[in-house]
């Protein structure tokens, strides 16, 4: 087998015009979450991945720093969750791995991070995390979100990261439920880890 040495994450072409066409201010947490949810929904409609959207914004003024949508099925990469895409593109824009050097940045995600994305947050330098749907909403749609420590919010807070959950949760969860009803791909790799009864 020839070894691959390079691999890229790239937003689908629809994302930029979609965001440009609806760009209002992102001054409030609700406005930011609404955009994350809209990205999740449009990602499903466009067939470019799972029902998850995210953004990185300047916490104070809402300036957009990066967008992310789930690209697992379209990129063929299991790490391509919306949060990973948004954080990675934010770092590419800023030009360094540590997002904590300028104005405080915020990660807004349409769903509570899975175990991987939870672990990615402290390494990134973002200063706050805003989540829409809860883990159980994603699990109800069929996704195996993995095991975070029970004290995951405190784990982030201890690292100076402010966490806010369940923002527009019903709307965010509706995108997940609709994905499942529509027969969307549930990209668990294998055993979902449910304890046998």
Considering only CA atoms, which of 67, 83, 53, 80 is closest in space to residue 161?
A: 83
Considering only CA atoms, which of 153, 192, 187 is closest in space to residue 52?
A: 187
Cα–Cα–Cα angle for 64, 118, 180, nearest 5°?
85
46 scored as a contact of a second copy (CB under 8 A):
no
134 scored as a contact of a second copy (CB under 8 A):
no
CA distance 134 to 114: 10
30 scored as a contact of a second copy (CB under 8 A):
no
Residues 178-197 interacting with a second copy (rule: CB under 8 A): 187-195
Which helix or strand (DSSP H or E) is residue 51 part of?
none
Give the active site residue among 42, 59, 83, 145: 83
Considering only CA atoms, which of 27, 40, 130 is closest in space to residue 85?
A: 40
Least distance CB 168 / a second copy (angstroms): 23
23 scored as a contact of a second copy (CB under 8 A):
no
The residue from 60, 98, 136, 170 that contacts a second copy (CB under 8 A) is: 98
The residue from 14, 64, 139, 163 that contacts a second copy (CB under 8 A) is: 64
Residue tagged 């919306």 (tokens): 82
The residue from 150, 181, 183, 197 that contacts a second copy (CB under 8 A) is: 150
Query: With respect to a second copy, which residue has the nearer C-beta, 170 or 186?
Result: 186
Size of the site for a second copy (CB under 8 A): 72
Cα 191–chain centre separation: 23
Least distance CB 97 / a second copy (angstroms): 4
The residue from 39, 67, 107, 173 that contacts a second copy (CB under 8 A) is: 67
CA distance 62 to 33: 11
61 scored as a contact of a second copy (CB under 8 A):
no
Neighbours of 53 (CB within 10 A): 33
Q: Check if 112 is active-site.
A: no
């Amino acid at each position: 087998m020839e070894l691959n040495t390079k691999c890229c994450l790239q937003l689908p072409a629809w994302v930029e015009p979609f965001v440009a066409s609806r760009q209002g201010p992102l001054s409030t947490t609700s406005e930011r979450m609404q955009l994350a949810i809209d990205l999740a929904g449009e990602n499903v409609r466009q067939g470019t991945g799972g029902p998850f959207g995210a953004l990185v914004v300047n916490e104070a003024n809402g300036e957009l720093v990066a967008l992310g949508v789930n690209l697992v099925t379209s990129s063929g990469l299991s790490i391509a969750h919306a949060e990973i895409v948004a954080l990675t593109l934010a770092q590419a824009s800023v030009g360094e791995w540590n997002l904590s050097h300028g104005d405080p940045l915020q990660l807004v995600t349409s769903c509570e991070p899975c175990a991987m994305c939870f672990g990615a947050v402290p390494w990134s330098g973002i200063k706050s995390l805003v989540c829409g749907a809860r883990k159980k909403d994603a699990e109800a749609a069929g996704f195996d979100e993995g095991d975070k420590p029970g004290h995951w919010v405190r784990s982030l807070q201890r690292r100076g990261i402010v966490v806010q959950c369940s923002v527009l949760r019903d709307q965010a969860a509706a995108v997940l439920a609709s994905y499942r009803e529509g027969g969307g791909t549930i990209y668990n790799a294998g055993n979902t880890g449910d304890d046998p009864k």
